[in-house]
Amino acid sequence: MSRFSKILTVIFVVLPLVVFLFVATTRKLHSKSEVVSGLAEFFGDNTKLAYERTKIDTYDPDLGWQFGEVFGTYNEPTIIGSSAVLVDINTGKILYEKNPTEKRKIASLTKIMTAVVALEHEKLDTKMSVSATSANIGENVMGLTEGEIYTMEDLLYGLILNSGNDAAYTIAENVAGSSDKFVEWMNFKAKELALKNTYFADPSGLDDDTYSTVEDLARLTRYALKNPEFREIVKTFEYEIFSDETHKYIYMQNQTNLLTTYPGVFGVKTGYTEEAGLCLVTFASNNNHDVVGVVLNSYDRKGDMILMLDHGFGTLGVVTDHPALVF
């Protein structure tokens, strides 16, 4: 960067930010999320600049990683889902595939990206308030009430374990200033990760205009798993939020299929709408082989994933013993 460019950056970016933060910190803000929302408003219609300037944590997108050799798929089992993939996320070996580049609706698998963007723009202990819009969004919910205040960490557990649409909208509104801006941020992130066949229409997955492919979702999940906070949340089976003066008590249990029944599964996310069908993203690790499986538009996502995992690990020479597996 030239000296002149540096001077312009100071004048037009750094100084306005310093002024804004000085004003913000001299006011009595109810929570840090107000500063973030304020920053989003400060940048006005320049959503991309707001997205860039409010990042606090990112990981290498590893754009050089590619889906590699199709390995052992000649005898792969037949599944019900319309499209699927199972990939070793270290080597890129494809262990199962069915219509891997077909664009399909993805329902609440959308929330993987919601979590990624939230974690890269806000801290877990940030307090976030629940709006009437978020509280009344409907369908799968965490159980939020208008006016309550939760930490983003609590909301992320509600987002993943309960697949809470109310949690998704509360996070979006508090992180980016509005759900619409947050969705733009989701699509910015999709572009950064080279998810060329993916588009997000809302932060929850209720809007069936959202679409992706199993390959893009596997790539997204591989990236998300780089974040240890994401890993911890998706592998958690149950979570409690204890009541205080700002919110009620909430108990949550992970809906992700196979988390407690298939050896080496560490969760990730389920999804369902009538148009998308039953969807599932699963991360599993056995004998130092880390795999991500994705199934879209099934009516037996659990059975499909078991067949894929058994086949994939078997191809790699790993025997998974699950005699007590419940279908």
Q: What is the pLDDT of residues 200-257, one digit of tens each?
A: 999 999 999 999 999 999 999 999 999 999 999 999 999 999 999 999 999 999 988 7
CATH number of the domain residue 90 falls in: 3.40.710.10
Contacts of 256 (CB under 8 A, 6+ apart): 160, 234, 267, 268, 269, 270, 280, 282
Show the DSSP H helices in 86-178 as ranges.
Answer: 110-121, 132-135, 152-161, 165-176
Helix or strand holding residue 291 (H, E): strand 289-298
> Which of 172, 218, 215, 223 has the alpha carbon at shortest distance from 193?
223
Is the residue at 229 inside a domain?
A: yes
Q: What is the pLDDT of residue 35?
A: 44
Q: What is the pLDDT of residues 254-292, one digit of tens each?
A: 988 799 899 999 999 999 999 999 999 999 999 999 999
Is the residue at 179 inside a domain?
A: yes
Which residue out of 163, 179, 204, 298 is catalytically annotated? Answer: 163
Q: How many other C-beta atoms can be found within 10 angstroms of the C-beta atom of residue 6?
A: 11
Which range of residues forms the domain containing residue 242? Answer: 62-315
Residue 34, pLDDT > 60, answer no
Q: What is the pLDDT of residues 84-115, one digit of tens each?
A: 999 999 999 999 999 999 999 999 999 999 99
Is the residue at 69 inside a domain?
A: yes
Q: What is the pLDDT of residue 76?
A: 87
Q: What is the pLDDT of residue 23?
A: 41
Residue 44, pLDDT > 90, answer no
Q: What is the mean pLDDT of the chain?
A: 88
Is the residue at 33 inside a domain?
A: no
7 band by pLDDT with thresholds 50, 70 and 90: very low
Residue 51, pLDDT > 50, answer yes
Q: Give how many domains the chain has, as a whole number.
A: 1
* pLDDT > 70 in the chain, percent: 85
Is the residue at 82 inside a domain?
A: yes
The model's pTM is 0.87
Which residue out of 33, 37, 83, 108 is catalytically annotated? Answer: 108
Q: What is the pLDDT of residue 138?
A: 85
Cβ atoms of residues 123 and 99 within 8 Å: no
Which residue out of 93, 105, 111, 302 is catalytically annotated? Answer: 111
- More confident: 11 or 229: 229
Active site residue 98: no
Q: Which residues are annotated as a binding site for substrate?
A: 269
Q: What is the pLDDT of residues 177-190, one digit of tens each?
A: 999 999 999 999 99
Active site residue 111: yes
* pLDDT > 90 in the chain, percent: 79
Is the residue at 25 inside a domain?
A: no
Q: What is the pLDDT of residue 40?
A: 53
Angle at Cα 113 formed by Cα 205 and Cα 124, nearest 5°?
A: 115
Residue 59, pLDDT > 70, answer yes
